Structure 1
Amino acid sequence: MNILSAVKNTAFSAAVTATLNYLEQDPEQNIPKAMGLMDKVLPDGWYEGQRAAFRKAIEEKGNWYQLLLKAYQLDTGVRKTFFQNFIINASLKGGALQEEIRQREGCNIPWAILLDPTSACNLHCTGCWAAEYGHKLNLSLETIDSIVRQGKELGTYMYIYTGGEPMVRKKDLITLCEMHPDCEFLSFTNGTLIDEEFCREMLRVKNFVPAISLEGFEQANDGRRGQGVYEKVQNAMRLLKEHKLPFGISTCYTSANYEDISSEAFFDMMIEAGAMFVWFFHYMPVGNEAVPALLPSPEQRKAVYERVRHFRETKPIFSMDFQNDAEYVGGCIAGGRNYLHINAAGDVEPCVFIHYSNVNIHDCSLLDALKSPLFMAYHDGQPFNENMLRPCPMLENPEILRDMVKRTGAKSTDLQSPESVDHLCEKCDSYAACWQGMADTLWQNSKEK
């Protein structure tokens, strides 16, 4: 039996579930034994690198081990549902089906789908790419349900809401959790609309995880998001922690806040607040009103690169730096390779930061969108650079995005103020040239290590 067949086998799922139930009995005692059980269950070669990393972390009982123990302080039902949906459905069974369809259809198939339930937002943050769409667009509940149903047929069980502010549509988000209990839903949110009632709803449905946007401490955060937002975020995190709910932090680093968000004090604050993960996003100069001055300098980006990697070894929180960690995923993950984005108008975009498209989900199937000209250009061109610290076809390789958009005839999806690909990429040209030398040095050092 090959890997794909083994992972799709019913006995395989039962064995993984039995291992997870074994952990529930006595996590601290049984976690060290868990990887031995998983090695017997999983086919040879399947997630081997990840398994080795977990095995090492467990043996050393370091920060990753402490993070795993923190998971067992969460609400039992929420934790079990997360493990079922994330590990078994999305990563193992879903991953096998995705690979099978990739081979059959000759196109990218995403592990996760990002979508905007609405373009509306209760804030207006400086440099927010979502603000470029306007505030009057919505994907209907029926459309989102259709996207999820089509996605599951492709093996995609992970759905991530962006916006706008997704929590503007709390009721529909909970309804979708009820309609698809086998999927895991994560939502980027400014956190200001999380209250006691919504925490109780999260406990009820068990498959919704917020990622709260935070740009540093109070001065840095409220300078971008508005006065009083930091205090509201602190209250939201307190409520989530009290209800034993998993949540994470999403932070965009710029030339103005990079020191705050990469400091030990910031990491300690997130951990103390109860966050399980933090995602770092490099500022992107998207939209005609973007502020290129917010782009980090090479030295500033290097500082974030080094600090995040240091704290990854010393702090019990899962961190991912989406611009500097491409080596772990083989370069750019957009264009459906690992994810795609559907905006509130239904335009299917290769990336949340690439506002160009050939297709709209109201007019075609999800699989047809993945075979559209721009998505196939991504499929055929990835990785866009052998240096994994220069992964993006826009930020570090703007000449590539120019070519793909023009060659495929993709149109701007910004209905408020359409931006030409030349205008967008011109803002990245000097950045890419300045970063190249630093990136080449860091990448060479990384390979030598």
Structure 2
Amino acid sequence: MDVIIGLFNGLDRIIDRGIVAKSVMLRMIDALLGNVFLNEDAMRLERETGTAPPSFVVVSPTGRCNLRCASCYAADAALKGRELPFEVFDRILREKRELWGSHWTVISGGEPFMWRDGDWNLMKLARRHPHDVLMVYTNATLIDDELAAEIADAGNITPAISVEGFEAETDVRRGKGTHGKILRAFEALRKHGVPFAISATATRKNWDIITSDEFVDFYFVEQGGLFGWIFQYMPMGRDQNLELVVPPESRVEMARRMWRLVRDRRVFLIDFWNSATCSQGCIAAGRHGGYFHINWDGDIMPCVFTPYAAGNINEIYEAGGDLRAAISSPFFESIRNWQREYGYNRPAEETGNWLAPCPIRDHFDMFATVTAACKARPINEEAGEAIHDPVHHAGMVDYGRKMVELTDDIWASQYVEPEQYRKT
């Protein structure tokens, strides 16, 4: 409930400042209320088919990027020229709507605004799907006055703009001058009334900064961010480094700080891992209400932080299949089975610790076993090396063990016991 209050408080804040265009707000309300939160299409399809489909898909249509951030997989020379074809991208959006009633799509990358296929770009695709909401994770360096006006005119795109903290932290990882370009993008989006979100990568070096009052004051109050996402660093890109991962002890404190900001500052702020108590744990692998990831090569993965593929959408389409085949692989089924065993959709007393919810991050031994048994394919050289590296394996297993040990008592006393008491 606190998170929802934060979202409505954010809407009040940007409306009071006059930095959201009426036309954009009306389209967003229509799309969000009619097609996402009160999704009659999805409910009808569930009743008719008896299935429990995912709510959204993350599509990364290009691996190209105009930045080269430390420890990121994008902008690698090997990805040059690799783009998801328009016909495939367009079909994914159409099929998930027709099959599952899904009107919410997350666009990642690479830099999504660099995606091209002939005359097609992201803005043209957004206009082709006016009843879908596209949340676009972007470095914002390409958002100028002209593009901001196009986004406002489309009315169904919410940019989620990546920062690492303030200017110093952002420029160290993303390149000198990047933060200044982000501020200019904020200004252009405010001018044209486009709501935008803040996206921050948490590491050992900056987790305390991005969960501070000063961070909220600057990005939400001063700059006008509507909501925020925190993604803790995962060692999966170039020069992957376990030392950059937020330590378990800091991750616990980070959760406390985040929830204080949500409650006291009334901001919509979600941490992909620390907010798993809001989503009944892991949402990967096409779980009901969850999602899966398709990248520029068409590779189908359980999660954006899981660089191991269960199949390829291009091959599925060529063989006459559809998105249902994309989530029917043994790899996805195994992860969904683990989610159910761990406690998804079960009573509180039968639920695993959702403060350590992630298969790959918090339960790596299980994940590596499932990956090998299902012959999931690494999508790049780094992922292939990592899954077979005994040092990486030991480091990830040790990380998960410490996280479980630190949070088991918190989970029992602050989540399970109050829920049991409520039922008595």
Same fold (TM over 0.5): yes
Q: Does 1:66 align with 2:23?
A: no
Q: In the alignment, what sits opposite 1:117? A: 61
Look up the match of 2:406: 438
| Map 1:56-205 → 2, pairs under 5 A | 57=5, 66-70=9-13, 72=15, 73=18, 74-91=20-37, 92-97=39-44, 99-100=46-47, 103-104=50-51, 109-130=53-74, 134-153=79-98, 154-169=100-115, 172-205=121-154
Quick check: 2:163–2:199 contact (8 Å CA) kept in 1? yes
- Quick check: 1:102–1:109 contact (8 Å CA) kept in 2? no
- For this pair of structures, how many residues does the alignment match? 389
Runs of 4+ in 1 over 4 A off after TM superposition: none
Partner of 1:368: 325
Whether the 8 Å contact between 2:284 and 2:292 is mirrored in structure 1 is yes
Distance in structure 1 (CA, Å) of the matches to 2:341 and 2:96: 26
What is the CA RMSD across the aligned residues, in angstroms?
2.2
437-446 or 267-276, larger mean C-alpha shift: 437-446
How far did 1:303 drift? Answer: 2.2
Deviations for 1:232-291, whole angstroms, at most 9, x for unmatched residues?
A: 111111111122210001111000111211111011101110100000111111147301
SS of the aligned residue for 1:258 comes to coil
Aligned to 2:202: 253
1:7-406 equivalent positions in 2, closer than 5 A: 57=5, 66-70=9-13, 72=15, 73=18, 74-91=20-37, 92-97=39-44, 99-100=46-47, 103-104=50-51, 109-130=53-74, 134-153=79-98, 154-169=100-115, 172-271=121-220, 272-287=222-237, 289-337=239-287, 338-364=290-316, 365-383=322-340, 385=342, 386-406=352-372
Q: Distance in 2 between matches of 1:134 and 1:256?
A: 28
Give the C-alpha shift of residue 68 in structure 1.
3.5
CA offsets 1:155-196 (integer angstroms, 9 cap, x no match): 111111111111113861111111111101111001111000
Amino acid at match of 2:399: Y
Task: Flag structure 2 segments of 5+ consecutive residues without an equivalent.
Answer: 317-321, 343-351, 419-424
CA 336–239 in structure 1, closer or farther in 2 if over 3 Å, else same: same
Aligned to 1:25: none
SS at match of 1:113: strand
Q: Deviations over 1:184-242 (max 9, x none)?
A: 11110011110000011012111111000001011111111111111111111111112
Take 2:307 and 2:49, find their aligned partners in 1: how far apart are those partners? 24
What is the TM-score with the length of structure 2 in the denominator?
Answer: 0.86
Per mean C-alpha deviation after superposition, the further-off stretch among 332-341 and 433-442 is 433-442
Contact 2:300–2:312 (Cα < 8 Å) also in 1: yes
Matched-pair contact (CA < 8 Å) for 2:361–2:396: yes
Query: Secondary structure in 2 aligned to 1:395?
Result: helix
Are residues 288 and 146 of structure 1, via their aligned partners in 2, closer, same or farther at CA, if it must alter by over 3 Å?
Answer: same
Q: Distance in 2 between matches of 1:391 and 1:258?
A: 19
Q: Which has the higher contact order (CA 8 A, sep 6+)?
A: 2
Q: Which amino acid in 1 is paired with 2:396?
A: C
In the TM superposition, residue 379 of structure 1 has moved relative to its aligned partner by: 2.1
Distance in 1 (CA, whole Å) between partners of 2:181 and 2:45 is 39
Listed as ranges, the gaps of 5+ residues in structure 1 are: 1-49, 58-62
C-alpha spacing 1:384/1:307, structure 2 compared with 1 (3 Å): farther
Query: Are the aligned partners of 1:116 and 1:163 in contact in 2 as well (CA < 8 Å)?
Result: yes
Q: Say which is worse superposed, 75-84 or 269-278, in terms of deviation.
A: 75-84
Q: Residue 310 and residue 332 in structure 1: after superposition, are their counterparts in 2 closer, same or farther (change >3 A)?
A: same
TM-score, normalised via structure 1 length: 0.81
Shift of 1:121: 0.4
1:384–1:393: 8 Å Cα contact kept in structure 2? Answer: no
| 8 Å Cα contact 1:216/1:266 also seen in 2 | yes
User: Partner of 1:31 in structure 2?
Assistant: none
* Change beyond 3 A, Cα 1:103–1:157: same
Contact 1:278 1:319 in 2 (8 A): yes
Superposed CA offset, 1:91-132 (max 9, x none) = 32244146447734xxx6221111111100001111224456
Q: CA deviation at 1:429?
A: 1.3
Distance 1:384 1:188 in 2: 32
For residue 426 of structure 1, report the CA deviation from its aligned partner.
3.7
Q: CA–CA distance in 1 between the matches of 2:177 and 2:113?
A: 18
Q: Does the CA contact (< 8 Å) of 2:330 and 2:374 recur in 1? A: yes
Contact 2:83 2:115 in 1 (8 A): no
